[in-house]
Amino acid sequence: MENVLLFIVGVVIIALGLAVSIALHEVGHLVPAKLFGVKVTQYMIGFGPTVFSRRRGETEYGLKAIPLGGYISMIGMFPPQKEGGKVRRTSTGFFRTLVQDARKASADSIGDDDVRSFYRLPVYKRVIIMLGGPTMNLLLGIVFFAIVLCGFGIAGPSTTVGSVSSCVLPASSTRQTCEAGDPVSPGAAAGILPGDTLVSIDGTAVSSWDQSTAIIRASSGKTLAVVVTRDGAQKTLSVTPLLTERDTTQVVNGQVQTVTDASGKAVTEQVGFVGIGYASQLVPQPITSVLPFVGQNVAGVANTIVNLPQRLVGVANAAFGNGTRDINGPISVVGVGRVAGEIATIDIPLASKVATLIGLLGSVNIGLFVINLVPLMPLDGGHIAGALWEGLRRRLAKLFKRPDPGPVDTAKLMPLTFVVVIFLGGVSALLMYADIVNPVNIFG
């Protein structure tokens, strides 16, 4: 019962974080739109029927029943077919009707406030408005990851012993357990226990696990005095590292990694071996590590989008067949909630749970940032692309002394927008189904 409650708490926390992220995304559009004089008639969180709303000035602020997004309504999103022209219905074709309906809805929203229409703004102002939402998500991602990296830290080696091998196994051995006849490890023979904190080795104060490893590897056959803290008191132990063949390791970004050759095979060397492993701890990172970390996340999301067809095939195989989910693949809001619930229930320190949930929100916001920049309507990137194309056309017309071509008629893209909406809806449905029947197994 306790785990169920913790799971619910995790889901609720991430849901609230998502709601705040969506709300601030729309604020990123709302604020510059109002600063530039565009008439904004609605600011809504969610879709579907309105649950609550209140009008302040000319804008209606509210919540809708389906909390899977949000929007602001600006008048004059699409220009008329011709400068100063009227909307006309000239075809009953489905896609033509989509275009005409979009123009009509835009014209109806304008009323007597044409000068405050979105399409009348200079290109750079329209770009700023449409970039406002994704930029807000990027800033939120930076803030969340800064809290995680600098406030909590990332898991790294501590100077506390996390494990002690009972025996010595060759580096080439595939066994994970000891058998009769295996030599006892020097660490076990010396009486080192998990939970001991290394204070000094052979008179040298230990400040990092990497330092202790270097001393041990260079001291095969030499008896070392190892001072540890156990139960609040210091204890001196004698240990003699055994000369063995071990994998060569190096510390990368606070993590101990095995060095491999060009073929991927582990590189080994003859070094001193005691048979102790470190306990992980959260190590705060410098503020300079935040932006590179965010950059890696942006690149990861972009790579997922570029390879989306292949990724979706894998998701479909996992949902309807015997495939397994890729932990680095796309997930839906259902999957995000499920991961949050699992984080809340696993047996790790509270600080680690909080850090992981904040990091999850950071990842979601980076995902929203990248996805919204895809240059397809109805995404923000589609409106940005339309504005930039208009700016390029006008600049070329001015350069070659041609008449101003006027605003780009982005309403003509409504058929493509319709296809994109159907595609995104299908992707969302597939991911939600997969996250229910065969969710991503983050924790093994």
Nearby residues of 265 by Cβ (< 8 Å), 6 or more positions away: none
Distance CA 273, CA 167 (A): 11
Contact of 284 with 146, CB cutoff 8 Å: no
Element (H, E) at 146: helix 123-146
Q: Which of 234, 10, 29, 225 is nearest to 135 (CA)?
A: 29
Distance CA 261, CA 248 (A): 11
Secondary structure of residue 41 in the 3-state scheme: strand
Distance CA 66, CA 45 (A): 9
Q: Which of 62, 71, 65 is nearest to 28 (CA)?
A: 71
At 382, phi and psi to the nearest 5? -65, -45
Q: Is 2 a catalytic residue?
A: no
Intra-chain end-to-end CA distance of the chain, in Å: 22
Distance CA 208, CA 256 (A): 12
Contact of 29 with 121, CB cutoff 8 Å: no
Please count the CA atoms within 13 angstroms of the CA of 240 that sit on its side-chain side: 5
Q: What is the DSSP string of 352-372?
A: HHHHHHHHHHHHHHHHHHHHH
Nearby residues of 178 by Cβ (< 8 Å), 6 or more positions away: 166, 167, 169
At 38, phi and psi to the nearest 5? -75, 140
Distance CA 30, CA 74 (A): 9
Distance CA 153, CA 148 (A): 6
Contact of 334 with 436, CB cutoff 8 Å: yes
Catalytic residue among 2, 26, 60, 269, which? 26
Contact of 349 with 152, CB cutoff 8 Å: no
Q: How many CB atoms lie within 10 A of CB 356?
A: 20
Distance CA 311, CA 328 (A): 10
Distance CA 291, CA 365 (A): 14
Task: Indicate the DSSP class of residue 149.
Answer: I
**Active-site residue numbers?**
26
